[in-house]
Amino acid sequence: MKRISAPTLMPMQPYNDCVSSILDEPLKNRLQSISNTIETHANLYIERAAHGNTYTINPILHARGADPFIVNDIRKSELINLYDYNMVQRHPGRTTYDQILVSANEKCPFCGGIGRPKSLDHYLPKANYPQYSVLPQNLIPACRDCNTGKSNDIALEPGQQPIHPYFDHDRFFVDQWVFGRIIETHPCSIFFFTQMPAGWSEIDFQRAANHFSDFDLSKRYSIQAAEELGVVVDQRKGYLAGCSPDEFSNFLRSVSNAPSLFANHWKKIMYQTLAGNRWFCSTEF
């Protein structure tokens, strides 16, 4: 939904930092011994993500409660603990964690800034891709709703992949694919939905639509819009009471065109929808 810059850290820096803080020397040595393999996995991830093909990376599938070997004699739990303990709780790994978290400038990229990032989300979940548990390019700043509400399904087809805030094509961030429709009641409300832009492939639109659904953005956008609609109605009753429907529509459209609002921002879509609705612009509140 919202593009943010990928971490500038070298892919292996967090891995090496996290391993360096391990006190168990045999474990530290075992994790250091697979660093070349982890680097190969990291380079594969970056290459696939840059082409929208992370679905081609095979997940680790196993019975509940199992702790399989992932690389040589390193188990899944040992790679996951690099994140849960050596990155989240200990330095120098925590420094990297905080650096990635603040890079979103207080705007969650998955929902387009509705929420404030509180933690890092694994784009490919660490439960099924433990080799990427501390890969900075796989760690996305996310708000609580996006992190906890995100679907746990593994993307095994191209259209199932969520939009990647670091790597995906500009079309997902520049083209408008979210639209709104007014529910003409008193008080009115706005329903948000997705629509495929001209020139898009079916797979790209499926990805966008699934992202919108997986993060429950129709409902979350409508909640944001409900509060803002009250402000607009108060303005219409007050200093905008003397405006004609066309003048009121032009005012609403000017708000939707604010440079600070990106193509699929809920507020942009809301004001765009209101401006284009004759019933709303003509209503005497």
pLDDT band with cut points at 50, 70 and 90 for residue 150:
confident
pLDDT band with cut points at 50, 70 and 90 for residue 149:
confident
Q: pLDDT tens, 217-247?
A: 999 999 999 999 999 999 999 999 999 999 9
Measured CA to CA in angstroms, residue 31 lies from 27, 46, 190, 226 at distances of 6, 21, 52, 51
Q: pLDDT tens, 38-93?
A: 999 999 999 999 999 999 999 999 888 899 999 999 999 999 999 999 999 999 99
pLDDT, residue 152, reads 66
- Mean model confidence pLDDT for the chain: 95
DSSP state for residue 221 in the 8-state scheme: H
pLDDT, residue 148, reads 85
Identify the burial level of 136 via C-beta atoms within 10 angstroms of its C-beta, where 0-12 means exposed, 13-18 middle and 19 or more buried. Answer: buried
Q: pLDDT tens, 15-45?
A: 999 999 999 999 999 999 999 999 999 999 9
pLDDT higher than threshold 90 for residue 151: no
DSSP 9-72: S-TTHHHHHHHHT---HHHHHHHHHTHHHHHHHHHHHHHHHHTT-GGGSPP----TT---EEET
Give the CA-trace dihedral at 162, 167, 172, 173, to 10 degrees: 120
Q: How many Cα atoms occupy the beta-carbon half-sphere of 3 within 13 Å?
A: 13
pLDDT higher than threshold 90 for residue 277: yes
CA-based nearest residue to 109, from 16, 4, 243, 19 = 4
- Angle of the 202-214 helix axis to the 217-237 helix axis, nearest 10: 80
pLDDT, residue 135, reads 98
122-138: average pLDDT: 96
Amino acid sitting at position 162 = P
- Domain extent listing, the chain: 13-151, 171-282
Q: pLDDT tens, 195-212?
A: 999 999 999 999 999 999
